[in-house]
Structure 1
Amino acid sequence: MIISDVETFIVGNPWKNWLFVKLHTKEGVYGIGEGTLNGFAKTVEAAIHELKHLFIGRSAFDVETISLKMIRDVYSDGGQIQGSALAAVETACWDIIGKASGQPLYKLLGGQCHDKLRCYANGWYRGPRTPENFYEKATVVVERGYTALKFDPFGSAWRTVEKKDFNLAIDIIAAVRDAVGPDTDILIEGHNRFSVHTALQFAEAMLPYNPTWFEAPVPPQHISSMVEVARRSPVPVACGEDYYCREQFAELLKHDAVHIIQLEPQYLGISASKQICGMVHAHNGVIAPHSAQGPLCSVVCAHLNMATPNFYLHEIFDEFNEPWEEFVLEPACKVERGYIRPPDLPGLGVDLNLEEMAKHPYHPGHYIPLFKQGWEKRERIE
């Protein structure tokens, strides 16, 4: 299966432009992938085309060599942009491999480890930042069968927080716990917002509401800060979605402080993601991959999670996005009463609906402004 060409498509979802690729082979088999990166859709698209001379003409089965060429051989650290370009192409290669072998992706990654994957809902709290709104929306989520849900109650906070805003965040957490009852997992999203001392103050204050994890409480660049919070926090810390290479995970894991790892396959590619899952397994940890990009990202994570013994939770954003999203992929991969399974068709088991995608063009205002008041409404920035 010799790669002959690559096409790219940007879909203008209001909260984040999605980037998809279609990788063609001389034999006529094609694969699809995703390279979505908040605020950088056209940049990643340009990177894919600038680097295509490194993978066109190669076998789609040579995923490790293609990864080396797109990362090592360029001899530049393009970070998440370079990682997103790689992941889009490498995912499409795995799709081709699955189609050529007649097997779904999870069978190629180790086979079925779970009957089904427990999901947690994200993106469900669109609207005003009030305890009443969060209570109402959380009630709807658990009525749909979810046993876990994640949310960011912190508004536009950055590093430190005024006391009034601090108390509002805790009131929102209390409202969600009241809405969902004692047996539902609530996951608190920090979005890399805080200094170490602010993160620890929040961890102590949220403890009475029994959160399952406190996600990304401090910026990811200083691993020592993440480790300090993880060791001192009474709430388990989860992180990892920002890292784009194995070495960053190796540095984090060697401290044995964080044991819920949220790797992002869209920055790593499937091969590296599977290897990192093994690294986490060796450190007695669990994985809950970040899956808040586009709908294809969720399908990739479902395959990876199904083939990973130390899988914990699967993130779902898709059910709480624009209603037309379910038509972007054919067939749609749907959640049933809080659980999901990857498709059993060869490769990823889904295809792009180009006709539906064409209805939703790129717009530069399609991104999440996480440090702007009212970002929770997820409206396009004009």
Structure 2
Amino acid sequence: MKIQEITPFVLSSKERGSATWASTMIVVKVTTSDGMIGYGEAVPTLRVKPVFSAIQQVSKGYLGKEVERVERNYHEWYKQDFYLSRSFESATATSAIDIALWDLVGKELGAPIHRLLGGKFRDHVPVYANGWYKDCVTPEDFAREAKNVVKRGYRAMKFDPFGPYYDWIDEHGLRQAEERVKAVREAVGEEVEILIEHHGRFNANSAIEIAKRLEKYRPLFAEEPVHHEDLEGYRKYKRHSNLRVAMGERLVSLKETLVYLREGLVDILQPDLTNIGGVTVARKVASLAEAFDVEVAFHNAFGSIQNAVSIQLASVIPNLLLLENFYDWFPQWKRDLVNNGTPVEMGRVKVPDGPGIGVEVNERILEELKTDPVALEVVEEPVWVVGGTWKNY
């Protein structure tokens, strides 16, 4: 099959979900010369317009190519795009197209992606909850909502307890963060895992002070405790903290990943299929992590197509820890887009066996919600936090 057309869609609705990024999806539709259709997804955040434009540009390198030569197609674009390993926009556009091509190959062969990658290692993928703490500010807010998460059957949950602090944190912030974490731990008990999200925003000294305060609550990991590119900060953090480090959502290439693995800076790797290079690169990254005895917890925060393909890949790798899950805190339209094809039951997702990404995309929703790409407003609360939490009490 030949790639005949690649069309990006921006989807949005008045129903916003738990965070600014949850209000938008960027979907890529790839149509073949014989009329088959595959779907992928790109990252929105504050880059909706440039990502939309990047998809249009990257598409020029894929049109006319054979769908089934997914690996070669990736490398042909790598050859053309001098800045692919340094450009988030190009990386997420390429990832979205790559996902759609894997979807198409699966549909052509009548097989889910997991069968194309060697078969399922597990029939159910364990997930952790995220997005559940919208508008939580006080310890009581966090404790109340954490109990509701456990009632849904989840056995692990992630949250950011740091309010509006950025780069540094003072004693007041440390005390508030500890009180929030303590409240969640006491609310959920010792058998439920808690994961601490730092959003990659602290310098090493502040991150180390945070670790000292939170170690007693036994978090499963500290996610992005320092800025992503701060290698010296990660080295210092690893020397002075006992917490396991999770990171990787901002990685955009296989070889960049190697830097963090080789130096022992990461304990749980979190590649994102929608910017690491799609299925083609993500499966290599997971194998690379396995060689370093590092577990994988794919970053999975944007939309229901990303979620579906992440479930497929999470089902086949032996070194999976958990998969991030926003599904129950998505706006309803994102679940409707895949006909609610990936429900969470007791903290697990049954791996879909449909062809390609495993779920069917509802084209009626696609047509109803498509909109023009627009620049998002920049307000005090960054788009990368769960809404209503950029506050002290």
- TM-score exceeds 0.5: yes
Alpha-carbon distance between aligned partners in 2 of 1:158 and 1:124, rounded to the nearest angstrom: 22
Equivalent residue number for residue 51 of structure 1: 58
Change (3 A) 1:309 1:6: same
Identity score, percent: 29
1:101 corresponds to 2:109: yes
Partner letter of residue 209 of structure 2? Q
Aligned residue for 1:177, secondary structure, equals helix
Which segments of 5 or more consecutive residues in structure 1 lack a partner in the other structure? Answer: none
Partner letter of residue 82 of structure 2? Y
Alpha-carbon distance between aligned partners in 2 of 1:205 and 1:199, rounded to the nearest angstrom: 10
1:284 corresponds to 2:280: no
370-379 or 85-94: bigger deviation? 370-379
Change (3 A) 1:222 1:199: same
Equivalent residue number for residue 217 of structure 2: 209
Equivalent residue number for residue 193 of structure 1: 201
Of 202, 224, 230, the match for 2:238: 230
- How far did residue 240 of structure 1 move? 0.7
Aligned residue for 1:224, secondary structure, equals helix
1:293 corresponds to 2:302: yes
- How far did residue 207 of structure 1 move? 0.8
367-376 or 141-150: bigger deviation? 367-376
Number of residue equivalences:
379
Equivalent residue number for residue 377 of structure 1: 388
Alpha-carbon distance between aligned partners in 2 of 1:337 and 1:197, rounded to the nearest angstrom: 38
1:341 corresponds to 2:350: yes
Partner letter of residue 301 of structure 1? S
- How far did residue 128 of structure 1 move? 3.4
Partner letter of residue 71 of structure 1? Y
| 1:192–1:217 contact (8 Å) kept in structure 2 | yes
| 2:136–2:388 contact (8 Å) kept in structure 1 | yes
Could you give the per-residue CA deviations for residues 345-364 of structure 1, whole angstroms, max 9, x where no partner exists? 11112232232242474664
- How far did residue 377 of structure 1 move? 2.4
Partner letter of residue 23 of structure 1? V
Alpha-carbon distance between aligned partners in 2 of 1:184 and 1:256, rounded to the nearest angstrom: 27
Equivalent residue number for residue 12 of structure 1: 12
Alpha-carbon distance between aligned partners in 1 of 2:43 and 2:379, rounded to the nearest angstrom: 13
Alpha-carbon distance between aligned partners in 1 of 2:11 and 2:227, rounded to the nearest angstrom: 29
Change (3 A) 1:27 1:368: farther
238-247 or 66-75: bigger deviation? 66-75
Aligned residue for 2:80, secondary structure, equals coil
Alpha-carbon distance between aligned partners in 1 of 2:359 and 2:123, rounded to the nearest angstrom: 20
Aligned residue for 2:5, secondary structure, equals strand
Of 41, 44, 48, the match for 1:37: 44
| 1:120–1:315 contact (8 Å) kept in structure 2 | yes
Partner letter of residue 57 of structure 1? G
1:66 corresponds to 2:73: yes
Partner letter of residue 149 of structure 1? M
Change (3 A) 1:130 1:360: farther
358-367 or 50-59: bigger deviation? 358-367
Question: What is the TM-score when the length of structure 1 is the normalising length?
Answer: 0.94
Could you give the per-residue CA deviations for residues 234-267 of structure 1, whole angstroms, max 9, x where no partner exists? 1111111111001111111111242210011111
Alpha-carbon distance between aligned partners in 1 of 2:389 and 2:167, rounded to the nearest angstrom: 22
Could you give the per-residue CA deviations for residues 8-50 of structure 1, whole angstroms, max 9, x where no partner exists? 1111263222100110001221110001231112211111111
Could you give the per-residue CA deviations for residues 198-237 of structure 1, whole angstroms, max 9, x where no partner exists? 0000001001111010000111112232233134211111
Aligned residue for 2:318, secondary structure, equals coil
Partner letter of residue 236 of structure 1? R
1:124 corresponds to 2:135: no
Could you give the per-residue CA deviations for residues 144-189 of structure 1, whole angstroms, max 9, x where no partner exists? 1000000001112111113212211110000110111011100000
Partner letter of residue 376 of structure 1? G
213-222 or 153-162: bigger deviation? 153-162
Equivalent residue number for residue 27 of structure 1: 34
1:114 corresponds to 2:118: no
Summarize the alignment of residues 231-246 of structure 1 with structure 2, pairs less than 5 Å apart: 231-246=239-254
1:326 corresponds to 2:335: yes
348-357 or 126-135: bigger deviation? 348-357
| 1:155–1:373 contact (8 Å) kept in structure 2 | no
Equivalent residue number for residue 154 of structure 2: 146
- How far did residue 273 of structure 1 move? 0.5
Could you give the per-residue CA deviations for residues 42-65 of structure 1, whole angstroms, max 9, x where no partner exists? 211111111222111011111122
1:308 corresponds to 2:317: yes
Aligned residue for 1:183, secondary structure, equals coil
- How far did residue 371 of structure 1 move? 4.4
- How far did residue 133 of structure 1 move? 0.8
Equivalent residue number for residue 264 of structure 2: 256
| Divergent runs of 4+, >6 A | 366-369
| 1:259–1:280 contact (8 Å) kept in structure 2 | no
Aligned residue for 1:344, secondary structure, equals coil
213-222 or 348-357: bigger deviation? 348-357
| 1:204–1:233 contact (8 Å) kept in structure 2 | yes
Question: What is the TM-score when the length of structure 2 is the normalising length?
Answer: 0.91
Partner letter of residue 208 of structure 2? L
- How far did residue 378 of structure 1 move? 8.0
| 1:253–1:283 contact (8 Å) kept in structure 2 | yes
